[in-house]
Chains A and B, each alone.
Chain A
C-alpha cells in the first residue's frame, strides 16, 4: 500500500522526522535555532502558544518510556495541540494486531502527527510510508532516536557555543544504542569529532566507517573530550555475555570522581537518562558542576516543540499571533 507523499516546500521540506540521516546540516541548525525561540516559552508564566491549535498528536509508544513520552506530550501541549497517549507495554505482535492495522485504525481518526517508539529498527520509517500523518521517530529499535540527538546537540551548542570541531566522547553500549547512532550521524553532519568508548562487545562492526574514533580506554577519552556522553547500560546485556560483571564494567567504563580528574574544567557531562547510579555514572559525578543532564531534559521540550512546529505548522501559523 502506498499513500500520496505530501510534498512540502520551504526551509524544512519533510513530512516526517524518522532519522538524523535525512537531515542536512542546514536543517539541523534550523531546528536548533527554532528550539532556542521555543525554549523561552517554557520560561514564561503562561507556557502556551497557539501554533498547533486544532492539530491532533498521537503518542504511540510500544516500549516503556516516561521521559521521552512526557517530553513530547508537554511540547505538543505548549503548542496547543491535542495529544493522546497510546501505551502498549506488550508489543503489537503479542496483542495479535500488526503495526499496519494499528496505524490504519489510528489514521481513520485523522491525527496530524504520530510519534512512535518501537523496539524494532525501521518501524518509524515503515509507519511513515503507510500513514499520511507526520511521523516522528521517538526511538526505533537499535536504529535512531533523532530528537534525542537534536536535544543533545542543542545542549552542546548552548554550553560550548559551537558544534563544529567539538570533541564528543560517547561511552558505553554503542551497539544497542539508537541515541549513539543518531548522535554520531548528526555530529558528523555538523563536523564535530566523535570518539566511541567501550569494550569490543559493545562496539558494533564497521562503525569506524561512520567517521568516528574508537577507544577502549575511558581515561584517554575523558582527557580528550569537550563533551562526555555516558550511555545507559541495560542490565539485560549481562545475560547476553557482553561483559562479565557490572563491577568490572563500572571499573573500566564507569564515570567516577577519579576519572573525572582528567576532564577539562570547561567540558560537560551528558546522559540521555535514565541513569544507573554506580554503574555507568557515580552519584558524585551527577552532582558535578559540569553535569548537564537536567538541562538536556529541559532542552528536550524545546527541541521537540521546534520539530513539531517545523513539520506541520510552519506554512499556516506563526508563533506569536
Chain B
C-alpha cells in the first residue's frame, strides 16, 4: 500500500479480529487505549484501518498467549543511523497488515509545550504515513509515533522534519533529553532549564543521529531538587537547579500560613520534617532558617509556596552516573559539581564544555554496553575526577572513606592543593598563580 492511498473496499471485506480480552479494557472510568485502537481500526476510509485491525489481532494474541511477538531489526532514514525503533511481527502470517510496525522517536520541545495547531499537524502527518497511534511521551521523553511500515518511514520523517521536529536517540548514542516545566510556569525554578536542554542536546546531535558511543548517554534537566523529570535516577548527566544564598522568607505570609493551618500542623509538617533540623518556628509565628545547615531539599518551600522561595544566587548542581539495574545494579547520579552559575553565555559554554568532557571520557573509557556510572564504579571516582578535571569536594560524599585500604603517601601534597584552592576561593593570592 502506498503512502497517502486511501484504502478502498479492502478493509471492509477483511474480517475484524475478535478481541474479547481487550474488549474488557474498554469499560471503567480511565480513558481506554483499546477504544482508541478500535477507532483507528474502524476508520474504513483510512489507509491504516487494516493495519490496526491486525495490530489489535496481534495484541489480543499476546493477551491470550502471554507473550510478545515483536522483533527488532534495522530501519533508518537517510543520513541518520538511529531514532527509529524497528518492529517486525513474528506472527505476520496471521496478522500481515501490521507485519512492520516501527516507531519514530521524535524529540519534544523542552517542557513538553505544544499548541493545538502543531498537535493537529502531527496527527495529520501520522495519518498520512503511519498508524494514527502516538504516545505523549515515552519514558525516554520522545514523542513516539508508533506503527509505520519500512517504506513509509522516510516520508513520515521528512514531513515531521519539515515541520521542525527531529529524530531522538536510540541505541548506543546520546539520547533524547527531558526538562521540567521550569521557569515557564514554576516559581521554584533555579535556571533556564529549556535553554540548557536545547543548548546541550543541539551541541551533540552527531552523537545522537549517528550512534557510536559505548552505550546510551542521557541528560535530564530539573529546575530544583524536586527533580520532576527524575534526573538523578535516570540520567547519566543530571542538571539540578539550586541556590547558594538564603531561602527567601516573607514573614507576613508565614504568619498567614500558620493562622490558616495551625501552629501544631506547621511544626509537624514543616519544622519537624526539615531533614537537617534547620528550621525554627518562633513564638510570634515567624520562621527562622539556619541556611548554613539547609541542604536545599525544597520541602519547606513545597509546603509554604507563598511564604518561602529559593534564594537569588541561583545555579545548578551536576550529578553523574544514574541508571537502572543492568548490569551492576541500580545507580543514582552522584554529586560531581555541587554548584555552578548558569546565567551568562560564558556559564552555558562551561556547561557545554563539561558535558563534552564527560561524553569524551565515556567514549574513550567505557566498555561496550557500560553506562558512565558503571565506568566510574570500575575505575573509582578519583580517576574519573582527574580525567574530567574536577577537584574533590565534601559535597560529593555522604561521608569520607571508611576503608583504610588506600595508599596515602602524597596526602600532604593533596592537602596543600585543598588549602590553596580554599585560599583562591577566598580571593587570596596564591604563590603559584
User: A and B bound?
Assistant: no
Residues of A within 8 A of B (CB): none
